[in-house]
Amino acid sequence: MSKAKTNKRQVRSKYRLAVVKEDSYEEKFALSLSKRNIFLAISSIALFVILITTLFIFYTPVREYIPGYDTTKIRIQAIQNLDKIDSIMISLQKNKQFLESFSSTINGDEFVSVYADNEKLENIDLNELEVNINIEDSILRKIVETEDRFNIIESENNEISIGLVSPASGLISEGFNFSDGHFGVDVVLKERTPIKSVSDGIVIFSAWTLNFGYTVVVHHKNKLTSIYKHNESIKVEKGDFVMSGEVIALSGNTGDLTTGPHLHFEIWDSQGPLNPEDLISF
């Protein structure tokens, strides 16, 4: 009981905090304190600081610097980053498709292109489609066709063919045939006929291959790649920049898969082989 009484007395004990002059001991300021008052004062100050800090964080841009705090700007940035990642993944997939197709055509292996699905459209009998055409539609179509003859805006396919020149003039002995795996055209030429680059570009392959002899591959604008096979000799090296119409090789009869002096020429885009005769006049 004596110990409890002692604790109560200590709690109820009062203290005096005073500020006095050093020389005269004159009291300038005094504050009466107790343990209870000290505890209440410290608690009040702490709560006030917490409240001010909380309001400062919630209503000022400082909150964005707190790790893990989500804001509208951060959410928008995250969505934009996801869109960019999705675009990058699609681009990587196309590049992977192109690299696989490029490797296959150089090695003479079988390659399945995304254009293979387009051949299914050839089996559709358009006569079976029921189309109702009235006079107004026919007149409008005729007007549009007439205007398109003088339209200076080129179509997307024409943009691809802008600036492409013939690699060599000759007779085409075998044309493009995707189903048979013949991804280009064979142009019959005399040996050592100059072979020209179809457009400005960078040489990405220039070497001897077992099946196709001396082969040159040039990457052009519009994401096109041209391939020249069975050459007698090569005039460019990997990494060289070539101009449109520049001689890059001399035709020949090299490689295990050759059938005589000729140029095997191919054009590819990022999705697969294209028919060179649709883009170039030989």
pLDDT higher than 80, residue 165: yes
- Residue 21 belongs to a domain: yes
3-class DSSP assignment, residue 216: strand
pLDDT higher than 70, residue 222: yes
Six token digits for residue 65: 């610097």
Are 230 and 258 in contact, with CB atoms under 8 Å apart?
A: yes
d(CA 212, CA 254): 6
- Residue 65 belongs to a domain: no
CATH (domain of 272): 2.70.70.10
pLDDT of the residue at 153: 43
**Confidence at 156, pLDDT banded by 50, 70, 90:** very low
Domain ends where: 10, 31, 58? 58
Q: How many domains does one find in the chain?
A: 2
Query: Mean of the per-residue pLDDT values for the chain?
Result: 78
Domain ends where: 58, 85, 102? 58
pLDDT of the residue at 31: 73
Distance of CA 6 to the CA centre of its chain: 80
Distance of CA 54 to the CA centre of its chain: 43
- Residue 228 belongs to a domain: yes
- Residue 159 belongs to a domain: no
Pairing of strands 171-174, 201-209: unpaired
pLDDT tens digits for range 67-82: 666 666 777 788 888 8
Domain ends where: 38, 58, 78? 58
- Residue 189 belongs to a domain: yes
How many C-beta atoms surround the C-beta of residue 230 within 10 A?
A: 28
- Residue 118 belongs to a domain: no
- Residue 183 belongs to a domain: yes
- Residue 8 belongs to a domain: yes
Q: What residue numbers bound the domain in which 231 lies? A: 165-278
Q: How far is CA 210 from CA 63, 107, 153, 155, in A?
A: 66, 8, 45, 40
Q: What is the pTM of this model?
A: 0.51
**Confidence at 5, pLDDT banded by 50, 70, 90:** low
